[in-house]
Amino acid sequence: MLREVSKDYITSAKPNASFSINTGSDSNYYQLKLPYQITYEFCSGTEEDDYMNSITFSEDESFYARDSFQGHDKAFHDHPLHFHDYYEIMIVLSGTVTQRIEDIDYKYPAGTCCLINRGIRHAENFDTESSILFVGLSTSMIGELLTVAEHSSFHSEKDFMKSNLYSFIISDLDNPDRKAYLDMIPAFAKATGFEQLKNLSTEMLNTMMFPHFGSSYKMRSLLSELLYFISSTDNYHCTEVEMGMGNDQLLFSRVEHLMTERNGRVTRSELEKVLNYSGDYLNRIVNKFTGMCLYDYGMTFCLRKAAMDLVNTKESISSIAQNLQFSNRTHFYSLFEKQYHMTPKEYRAKHISP
């Protein structure tokens, strides 16, 4: 049964809660008492008449809390840092959220996710109207889900064990004090991926709100689906972030992933939409790490793909240029020669064994 509690309930230790909290001088430590916990948070904004709703579900107990900004306008965009003894997946369902990792702020727009391990101090802060789903997984729950995958009779189910997410968790289980997390941004190719993720999130919430016979098994299935979905390179680009990687470096990594996916054919407006940064700022970030502008940086991926196709396929040079969206053959030849100091024909002849 869902019951309403005060905000203080969520920020203090309660013996019958699904988790306990130990408060410290600079951060709180959360301990999850049950296999998993689902929390949905909605923030209407950051003005004095705005509010935040939080609803938490577990197999043992569920509770709801509501608070307003009136009288403490930093309540939900200046959270104290916390860390925990479980893994936490944050899914931004709408709006934009700032994730503070230790002492660095990272921006997460709708559709992005991150997997926080047990050693990272962090806090999620609302800047605009936003909604988030948090999925807390205990180490025992993680072990249970991974064991099922490892011993599955379906060969394709074992593909999950080749993912960066699986490797990260396996490594992290052996290093509980490690300070690292996974950053995930949606792939361009999966245009419907975000809707699938939202539907999966809704199904988890509905299952927890209206449990019946078989719901505990269904939740394990849904949690497995979630892990598989966000681990798939068809759906998400994943970056393992170690402490010391600044916001600029992570943002550059995101740009690099998207450029790789599209062979450099990404417009400034597309990057702005996906990453929620201005094109001018993204251009400065790319220049900072490469010395190039966004367009020139994108061309390096495009020409790299052209070089690979010259060696690995029998496509004509004209066809390769067209596939990479070059409408002007002379322009393609000029850029290729500038990059590789030879014509495409000479490059193919040099790199293909007789």
The proportion of the chain whose per-residue pLDDT surpasses 90, expressed as a percent, equals 60
Specify whether 153 is located in the same domain as 42.
Answer: yes
From CA 119, how far away is CA 180, in angstroms rounded?
Answer: 7
Question: Residue 1 pLDDT more than 90?
Answer: no
Specify whether 216 is located in the same domain as 324.
Answer: no
**Burial of residue 234 (number of CB atoms within 10 Å: 0-12, 13-18, 19+):** exposed
CATH number, domain with residue 192: 2.60.120.280
> Domain boundary at 245, 280, 298, which?
245
**Nearest alpha carbon to residue 184 among 134, 244, 250:** 250
Specify whether 240 is located in the same domain as 137.
Answer: yes
**pLDDT score at 292:** 96
From CA 36, how far away is CA 87, in angstroms rounded?
Answer: 9
In a domain, 276, yes or no: yes
In a domain, 257, yes or no: no
CATH number, domain with residue 269: 1.10.10.60
Specify whether 21 is located in the same domain as 68.
Answer: yes
Domain that holds residue 314: 262-351
Specify whether 315 is located in the same domain as 205.
Answer: no
Q: Mean of the pLDDT values across residues 32-60?
A: 87
Global pTM value: 0.85
Domain tally, the chain = 2
What pLDDT, in 10s, does the model give residues 306-335? 999 999 999 999 999 999 999 899 999 999
Specify whether 199 is located in the same domain as 299.
Answer: no
Specify whether 88 is located in the same domain as 176.
Answer: yes
> Domain boundary at 245, 275, 295, which?
245
In a domain, 134, yes or no: yes
In a domain, 77, yes or no: yes
